[in-house]
Structure 1
């Protein structure tokens, strides 16, 4: 299974971020072809040293790296990526990787 991990940094306005994310970004992302599962963190995101600078963590699941790449390259994937500028003013880090069960 391939995954996209998105770490959204603390925004200037958390309430506005959360509202846009729930009402606009999630529906856009859920349209990405090949997306099998999509989950997000709830509550604060901590680190071993205490609170972190991360506001929200999102994980998107695909059957393979090829499916992930095709999904992100699709018009729906581009629309979701383009939406980041509309709400993620604290910045976002995206990571793509394949996984295996151990």
Structure 2
């Protein structure tokens, strides 16, 4: 299993971000080939010391790093990436990695 983690920084207008993210971005992203699971944070995103600079965290699951790369290179992946400019003006950090049970 591999993950793509999107760490969305706190936007100036949280309500506008949430409206676009949940009504438009998620339906676009769900069409990425190879996507096996899609989870998002619920409530404030913090650190053990308190607040963080992040508004929302998304965890997308794929079978492998290759599947992430293929999915993101597809027209659906390109549409998902292009949509970031419509709501994530504060910035987003994207991380990809393999996972294993320990």
Match of 1:37 in 2: 37
State the alpha-carbon separation in 1 of the partners of residues 67 and 47 from structure 2. Answer: 31
Post-superposition shift, 1:11? 0.4
Gaps of 5+ in 2: none
Match of 1:2 in 2: 2
Gaps of 5+ in 1: none
Post-superposition shift, 1:51? 1.0
Match of 1:63 in 2: 63
Alignment RMSD? 0.5
> What per-residue deviation string (whole Å, max 9, x for no partner) do you get for residues 55-100 of structure 1?
0000000001111110000000000001001000110000010111
Match of 1:52 in 2: 52
Post-superposition shift, 1:101? 1.1
Q: What does 1:9-20 align with in structure 2 at a 5 Å threshold?
A: 9-20=9-20
What TM-score do the two structures reach when normalised by structure 2? 0.98
Paired residue total: 102
State the alpha-carbon separation in 2 of the partners of residues 38 and 14 from structure 1. Answer: 21
